[in-house]
A and B are shown apart, each in its own frame.
Chain A
Amino acid sequence: MDIKQYITSGILELYVLERLEPAEMREVEANALQHPEIRSEIDQIEQVLEAFAIAAAPEVSPEILDRLLKEAKGKKAPASTPERTADVPTPATSSSFAWIPWLLAIAALAALLYAYTQLGNRTEELQDVQGRLEILQKDCDENQEVIRAAQQRLNEVTNPATQGIILAGTDNAPDKQAIVFYNQATNKTLFKAVNLPPPPAGKQYQLWAIDADGPKDLGVLALDLEGNVVLEVNYLPAVAAFAITLEDEGGKPAPDLSTLQVYGDVAG
């Protein structure tokens, strides 16, 4: 007999389901006794149907058990046997499956909570990163602007039409120095303090452009002016010389030439 074919034919399933003719039933039983594989396959099929019945089990009214226990007791009351202490370590069938939805619900809830907190964390992280990105973006824009401005200054300064006029220290302040970039083609005047130490208290540097009519006020220099800053100042045409005096804070309409600090002529 081809046992494999016999097993796969489906006859064993029908045997377990009791859907064979009595003669066939006996035949299967005889074969099962002879071949352990068949016996084992039958046991497998029985287990599937048993597991199905257990898995699909509905709740049963507990009063049935009360009645059963009463009747069983009334019939026979044996002395407590050792088995009695051997509590079966398996759960009640129906209740065990009634737990499944609960267990699943709890698991789902836990998963949801976890996901929620994870989401919260991620959102926070995202916001943090976004904040930092924004700051960097701003920095970057600012730097871009600084570079652009510096590039423009450089272009202005290196323009062939720009004259670089060094304002050299006078006898009042031999070490002081500044520079003016004067361009009569683009009508621009730039100023940079090269060495102008902070003025004494109550005093302020004032820049002058001197033309044919005399000195013209170009404004006072900020008290905290830094040495490396290139300032754009008012443009005046036909300037002959630039000078800085040390005036009272706020500046004067006309220079006190006795306080002349630096001075430079505009070349021809």
Chain B
Amino acid sequence: MSATNQLNERQDIVLRLIRAQDEEGMRQLFNHYGGALMTILQPILPQKEVAEEVLHDVLMKVWNNIESYDASKSRFFTWMARIARNAAIDKTRSKNYRKNRKTDEIDDSVSRRRELSQTPSIDHIGITAILDKLDASHRAIIELLYLQDYTQSEAAKKLELPLGTVKTRSRRAIMQLRELLKHEMGWLLIISLLYNLFHT
């Protein structure tokens, strides 16, 4: 059994349960992917309560629209992450959100972007712990393209790179992340096995 199998097995079981609209499916959706989706949501929505509110909406959407997931196009998580990112961006654009934000932090989205390279709004320890292990140039790419909603050309401008370099650097960044996570996934696997041991 490998980490890949672990991810796939988890995905298949959760999908099957949700398609059957089994309540257990919702529980496992939340347990297995809730935190991971928060990884996507929190950099865009730093207020935890707001991010959790959006997470709730995203998971409800996944639950209710499972038939629109096309397994031939992407993995289950990729699909959910896209829904989550779009929902988060929609949230930042909503009147209500901006009104609320303005009362505590003035024009937050602008200041947040400007500070990204030095002190990213990504203050969650789990994320920074992993990102800190990446080369600085790779880290910036992951932050801008995966954790923030920068377009390719926005990222190029921000990092003062030619557009083509953003592309190749994205690959190298994800390659490095992959190497890094091999280790993490090893842990995930070990812990899963331990968990199974205690729960069977």
Q: What residue of chain B has the Cβ atom nearest to residue A19's Cβ? A: B152
Please tell me if A149 contacts chain B, counting CB pairs below 8 Å: no
Partner of A58, one of B42, B146, B169, B194: B42
Q: Which of B157-200 contact A (CB under 8 A)?
A: 166-174, 177-178, 181, 184-185, 187-188, 191-192, 194-196, 199-200
Contact indicator B60/A71 (Cβ below 8 Å): yes
By a CB distance below 8 angstroms, the chain A residues around B191 are 91, 96-97, 99-100, 103
State the majority secondary structure of interface residues on A. Answer: helix
Assembled-state Cα–Cα distance A14/B142 (Å): 11
Query: Given the known A-B contacts A50-B7, A65-B30, are A96 and B75 also in contact in the complex, defined by CB atoms under 8 Å?
Result: no
Please tell me if B92 contacts chain A, counting CB pairs below 8 Å: no
By a CB distance below 8 angstroms, the chain B residues around A93 are 31-36
Contact indicator A52/B34 (Cβ below 8 Å): no
Query: In the complex, how many angstroms separate the beta carbon of A217 from the nearest chain B beta carbon?
Result: 92
Query: In the complex, how many angstroms separate the beta carbon of B46 from the nearest chain A beta carbon?
Result: 12
By a CB distance below 8 angstroms, the chain A residues around B31 are 65, 92-95
Q: What per-residue 1/0 map shows which CB atoms of A34-64 lie under 8 Å from chain B? A: 0000000011111111111111111111001
Assembled-state Cα–Cα distance A64/B168 (Å): 39
Query: In the complex, how many angstroms separate the beta carbon of A92 from the nearest chain B beta carbon?
Result: 4
Partner of B38, one of A13, A60, A88: A60
Size bracket of the B interface = 35 or more
Please tell me if A4 contacts chain B, counting CB pairs below 8 Å: no
Contact indicator B145/A9 (Cβ below 8 Å): no
**Most chain A CB inside 10 Å of its own CB: which residue of B56, B127, B170:** B170
Partner of B22, one of A20, A29, A81: A81
Assembled-state Cα–Cα distance A89/B174 (Å): 29
Assembled-state Cα–Cα distance A54/B130 (Å): 11
Binds B, one of A72-80, A139-147, A224-232, A240-248: A72-80
Contact indicator A57/B30 (Cβ below 8 Å): no
Size bracket of the A interface = 35 or more
Query: Given the known A-B contacts A56-B39, A72-B26, A93-B31, are A9 and B171 also in contact in the complex, defined by CB atoms under 8 Å?
Result: yes
Assembled-state Cα–Cα distance A51/B184 (Å): 8
Contact indicator A90/B56 (Cβ below 8 Å): no
Chain B interface (Cβ within 8 Å of chain A)?
A: 3-4, 6-7, 9-10, 13-14, 16-17, 20-28, 30-40, 42, 52, 55-56, 59-60, 63-64, 73-75, 77-78, 81-82, 85, 124-127, 129-130, 142, 145-146, 150-152, 155, 166-174, 177-178, 181, 184-185, 187-188, 191-192, 194-196, 199-200
28 A-B pairs whose Cβ atoms sit less than 8 Å apart in the complex: A9-B167, A9-B168, A10-B168, A13-B170, A19-B145, A50-B36, A51-B184, A52-B39, A52-B142, A53-B37, A53-B81, A56-B129, A60-B35, A60-B38, A60-B52, A64-B30, A64-B34, A65-B27, A65-B34, A68-B56, A86-B13, A88-B24, A89-B192, A91-B191, A91-B195, A94-B34, A97-B191, A100-B191
